[in-house]
Structure 1
Amino acid sequence: MKYFLLGGVLALASTAAAQRPASPAQNAATVKLPGSLSMPTLPTPRQLYPGLFEAVQLNRVYADNKTFVDVLPTAPPAEIVAAYERQRSQPGFDLKTFVGQYFKPPVAATDVYRSNVQAGIRAHLDTLWTVLRRPGQAEAAQYSSLLPLPRPYLVPGGRFREIYYWDSYFTMLGLRQAGRTALLRDMVANFAYLIDRYGHVPNGSRTYYLTRSQPPFFALMVQLLAQAEGPGSQAVQQFRPQLKLEYAYWTSGGDKLQPGTAAGRTVRMPGGEPLSRYWDDSDQPREESYREDVEAAKKSKQPAPVFNRNVRAAAASGWDFSSRWFVPGKGLETIRTTSLVPVDLNCLLLTLEQTLGTAARQAGDSTEAKQFRQAGQARAAAIRKYCWDAKAGFYVDYDLPQRRPSPVHTLAGAFPLAFGVATPDQAKKVASHLQNEFLRPGGLLTTTNPSGQQWDAPNAWAPLEYLSIVGLRRYQQTALADTVAHRWTRLNVRVFNQTGKLLEKYNVENTGLLAGGGEYPLQDGFGWTNGVLLTLLNEEKKAVK
């Protein structure tokens, strides 16, 4: 059976295993985890430039709020703030001129790179590994928001000038295909470094991202590295400590909750089962989207801290933003991310538990191996119990306050196929929904709701296309998987031939139009698109032979 590159530990779990009876739910909380760590805190741009920060962001000195949080100052922050306080009330003071005097804006490599369309898509992909590569740094530049990483790494491209968590796994798929195993190992080592230093992988390698993570793909990264290095790889054992820290970040504290309640990232389901949700430790407006959050909060009936937390949790999900997180039929002002138990997140934590079980077994720790095996079985059973909407025949998020599956259908419903949670009958029903509701000329829609948000119709994204294809193939839905892969690669290649670019997202409904929505212009580069495209092109090439 062909499972693509999710391989390793995940490929060992058959669809039959998904039907095994689960251990009691409390088994998931019996795994011994590292104690709480005292992690370093670093000042963010808002903390470095009080008053000035708010003025710059609210007055849109830069068209994109992310620009200011990535700038480098030409003088110490205290000196700049003092100068601002002295000058701002003087006649003729111009904020934009002041900022231009004291700060250097960032430049993205993709702003100056020009592709050679005539050389073809594969040559372009190979070149981009160099364009998007950044050297490791022992220390970041003084007063920079950039977090140092000891080894070289790849950025997504465009305004995304730093490493991003879940993006990087799909970029690494391309490194594996390109035979760049050394850089793949460097990337994994950088994520291990972040976990050791901060207790989790931040959303991105910036100080203003430290209060949240993103979909936890570290276990899959380690699996991918082990596959790339081949027999004898010690990757799973080497990164076992960081895998355990990652698990603690997402699951600790759940055993203290009452059924039907949540705290931070942990949830205790109505039946007592522990699952997880997306969360951000801050309830302030996001610094990189400060003006947008301040203005949006004014339109919401939620208290500003509650609204901000839900917005930040959606950013932690990677789906920022989508009607997935809204009251059905309503807009961003109703965002309620923290009220939902996400089906995709818990599938990812399942593979983390499976990977830790394998690591324990390899280390000869049969007790811990059993504990993680039981935890994984309990989580898989809970996903099936709470996230399967039997009436609709589709996997969805679970609405904790309403105590029922969410009525919103999204491509996150394909994750239980990719990670072997679904039963064979459930997989057939999910595939039918994907065929009838989501399939369009360019691939699979993210959701079927044309809300204007970037993680909704008519847009599609490489990571979701890839995992949907993997899931369909895992359950022998080969014809549909091949159709999705073919339509997606043809769209990517056609847009490249027309524009010379590979983009972060695509319009799969009207393939003659570029994707829209979101808080910023369409970005090119683009790390995860490159990695998924190269993987699918190589799979297609093998299938033809």
Structure 2
Amino acid sequence: MLVPGGADVFLVQTQDEQTFAAVLPEDAPPGAGIGAASSANHRYALTIRDGVADITRTVDDLTVQNTFAVGPGPHRLTIDATATAYTLRVDDRTLVAGAHGCCPRRWRKTSSAAASCSSAAITAARSPSYRSLDWKMMKNLDDSIRHGWDNDVVRSDDPRRQSVESIDLPFPWVAGAAPTSPDWYTTMFSWDTYFTNLALIVHDRLDLIRGNIENYLFLIERFGYMPNGNEQPLSTRSQIPLFADSILRYIRATGDQELLHRAYPLLVREYRDYWLADHHATPTGLVTNRDLGDPTLDPRLAAEAETGLDWTTQFDGDVTHTNPVMTNAALVVYARTLAHLANMLKLPDQVREFTADADRRATLMRRFCWSEDRGHYLDYDYVREQHVAVLGATSYWALWAGVATGEQTARMAAGLDDLLRDHGLLSTEQSRPDPARFALEYEDLQWTYPAGWPPLHIIACWGLDRYGYTDHADKIATRLLATITRHLGETGETYEKYNVVDGSLDLPNSRYGTITLHGWTTAALVLLPRRPLDGLLP
């Protein structure tokens, strides 16, 4: 049957096969292509806008979104669903396939179900590089990490906290510190904890996530924002705002209405009163990063620490003169997160407000941060009115946030070799600091060539998967996983960062050395083998 699905768009649904499709004409207006279909407890909605398809799949009360570049119309987007699996196709190209059973809500029913999402079930339709992973080893590592989370729990009275000017927290938290890490890595860092939370969701350790969330909300109540970390010297700034997304995913997984009602106004406060405050504002309408007065650091360095990239060649020496891609992409996602939470609370005016906020920022990012010359998203220097000179892996955050158009994504995928090396994804292309512009020497710029960092790999893979470039994401994931597991086999340790050019632990710009770490490195071992993450996380 034909079901109207928005301006000049029809959904075709056949009851037996549970198939529906949308055909979008070339002259369809922006926003056209909205439709929905349902099959038992599986519901689907799709939107095609500016050559990008967004498919939202809801199983019971669990919602997962996939974003894919499809280019200009017309297109036929098809979803085939059975009781146990689904396949998304555009024209004749399969975008993604997955099992309805691979969702955290179902994993909570049995401790062994999550493990079934590895090996053959995951690799059947994947690239040769992905299938080449040692899946038995990966599963053993996953089991080891699953049973080791409690060892990474820190409390405010932990003796290691005496090494820093610690801010006491009311709940235990999962820190990144391995047993051999420096004591200061027992700090609850904002964006580090986000990646840990995602892995904890996969491993059904919602009890540990809850403590992280409660501490995050406690710090917003105290400071108006989550500081860089729970140390006094770090409290004059925040860190890249990812954490709220994990709160939304926790609420979806648990249905915790009390937390929903309590967290929402605090997150709105952080978003509006801190991230959109005057000290972050710039003439472009996009934000920059700034510190509120760290007495121990050059203001440029303190501001750069708020991005999490402390420090890098990427911002041409002064992040406060730029609109960073990663910060603005994170705020696009933050606004959409608030819109989702407002929808759960039945606040339609705020749903519209935050959705419009996200769309406005995405439009500005396409205007100012896209470099037609480089074929990538680059941080924009609004003072000099030009892009920064150095390309970074944060370019792919525009894909993760759904900002990039289909044509832009195709160019970014084609340009992956600008940053991809044999052992992983570079933090930046090869670059050296200009002494006239930089406060530090190259040796302290650790988020720079030849270093590769796990969180940048996770976001890049997530973004490429969302637009259907799974083979490209496979290359990134498998190279990092091979590097991590090789060193783990040789040393028994995972590390904070790796030399992805020669595959070693030796970095000429390691700042404080290449230290051991669990945190986002073990999160990478949990998340990357289970991609795509949109089909994995609530």
TM-score by length of 2: 0.68
Tell me if structure 1 keeps the 8 A contact 2:56–2:63: no
Distance in 2 (alpha carbons) for counterparts of 1:121 and 1:150 = 31
Do residues 268 (structure 1) and 283 (structure 2) align?
Answer: yes
Tell me if structure 2 keeps the 8 A contact 1:250–1:266: no
Q: Structure 1: which 5+ runs fail to align?
A: 20-116, 255-263, 287-307, 327-334
Deviates more, 1:386-395 or 1:447-456: 447-456
- 2:304 partner amino acid: A
Q: Structure 2: which 5+ runs fail to align?
A: 1-52, 73-136, 433-441
Tell me if structure 2 keeps the 8 A contact 1:137–1:151: no
Secondary structure at 2:391 match in 1? coil
Distance in 2 (alpha carbons) for counterparts of 1:156 and 1:384 = 34
Identity %: 27
- 1:361 partner amino acid: N
Do residues 475 (structure 1) and 474 (structure 2) align?
Answer: no
Q: Which residue of 2 aligns with 1:215?
A: 240
Q: Which residue of 2 aligns with 1:201?
A: 226
Question: Aligned in 2, Cα 1:142/1:535: closer, same or farther, shift over 3 Å?
Answer: closer
Q: Which residue of 2 aligns with 1:445?
A: 426
- 1:473 partner amino acid: D
Question: Aligned in 2, Cα 1:509/1:144: closer, same or farther, shift over 3 Å?
Answer: closer
281, 284, 291: which one pairs with 1:280? 291
Q: Which residue of 1 aligns with 2:321?
A: 339
Do residues 244 (structure 1) and 236 (structure 2) align?
Answer: no
- 2:215 partner amino acid: N
Tell me if structure 1 keeps the 8 A contact 2:288–2:323: yes
- 1:350 partner amino acid: V
Tell me if structure 2 keeps the 8 A contact 1:251–1:265: yes
Do residues 121 (structure 1) and 138 (structure 2) align?
Answer: no
Distance in 1 (alpha carbons) for counterparts of 2:517 and 2:429 = 26
Question: Aligned in 2, Cα 1:122/1:509: closer, same or farther, shift over 3 Å?
Answer: same
Distance in 2 (alpha carbons) for counterparts of 1:174 and 1:407 = 34
Do residues 431 (structure 1) and 413 (structure 2) align?
Answer: yes
Secondary structure at 2:286 match in 1? strand
Question: Aligned in 2, Cα 1:132/1:2: closer, same or farther, shift over 3 Å?
Answer: farther
Aligned-residue CA RMSD (Å):
3.5
- 1:178 partner amino acid: H
What CA deviation, in whole Å up to 9, does each residue of 1:324-372 have, x standing for no partner?
123xxxxxxxx21110110110111111111222222332322222222
| Superposition deviation, residue 143 in structure 1 | 11
Question: Aligned in 2, Cα 1:512/1:13: closer, same or farther, shift over 3 Å?
Answer: closer
Q: Which residue of 1 aligns with 2:31?
A: none
Distance in 2 (alpha carbons) for counterparts of 1:538 and 1:266 = 38
Distance in 2 (alpha carbons) for counterparts of 1:427 and 1:147 = 42
Q: How many residues align?
A: 401
Q: Which residue of 1 aligns with 2:151?
A: 131
Tell me if structure 2 keeps the 8 A contact 1:516–1:522: no
Q: Which residue of 2 aligns with 1:417?
A: 399
> Which residues of 2 match residues 100-111 of structure 1 at below 5 A?
none
Tell me if structure 2 keeps the 8 A contact 1:507–1:513: yes
Tell me if structure 1 keeps the 8 A contact 2:54–2:68: no
Question: Aligned in 2, Cα 1:16/1:209: closer, same or farther, shift over 3 Å?
Answer: same
Tell me if structure 2 keeps the 8 A contact 1:146–1:207: yes
Secondary structure at 1:364 match in 2? coil
Distance in 1 (alpha carbons) for counterparts of 2:413 and 2:55 = 16
Tell me if structure 1 keeps the 8 A contact 2:283–2:382: no
Q: Which residue of 2 aligns with 1:289?
A: none
| Superposition deviation, residue 515 in structure 1 | 3.9
What CA deviation, in whole Å up to 9, does each residue of 1:48-91 have, x standing for no partner?
xxxxxxxxxxxxxxxxxxxxxxxxxxxxxxxxxxxxxxxxxxxx
Tell me if structure 2 keeps the 8 A contact 1:226–1:235: yes
> Which residues of 2 match residues 484-499 of structure 1 at below 5 A?
484-499=476-491
Question: Aligned in 2, Cα 1:4/1:136: closer, same or farther, shift over 3 Å?
Answer: farther
Tell me if structure 2 keeps the 8 A contact 1:15–1:423: no
- 1:281 partner amino acid: L
Structure having the higher helix fraction is 1
Do residues 389 (structure 1) and 371 (structure 2) align?
Answer: yes
Larger RCO (CA within 8 A; separation ≥ 6): 1
What CA deviation, in whole Å up to 9, does each residue of 1:361-393 have, x standing for no partner?
332322222222211111110011100011221
Q: Which residue of 2 aligns with 1:145?
A: 165
Runs of 4+ in structure 1 off by over 6 angstroms are 1-5, 7-10, 16-19, 140-144
| Superposition deviation, residue 13 in structure 1 | 7.7
| Superposition deviation, residue 221 in structure 1 | 1.7
- 1:338 partner amino acid: T
Deviates more, 1:457-466 or 1:218-227: 218-227
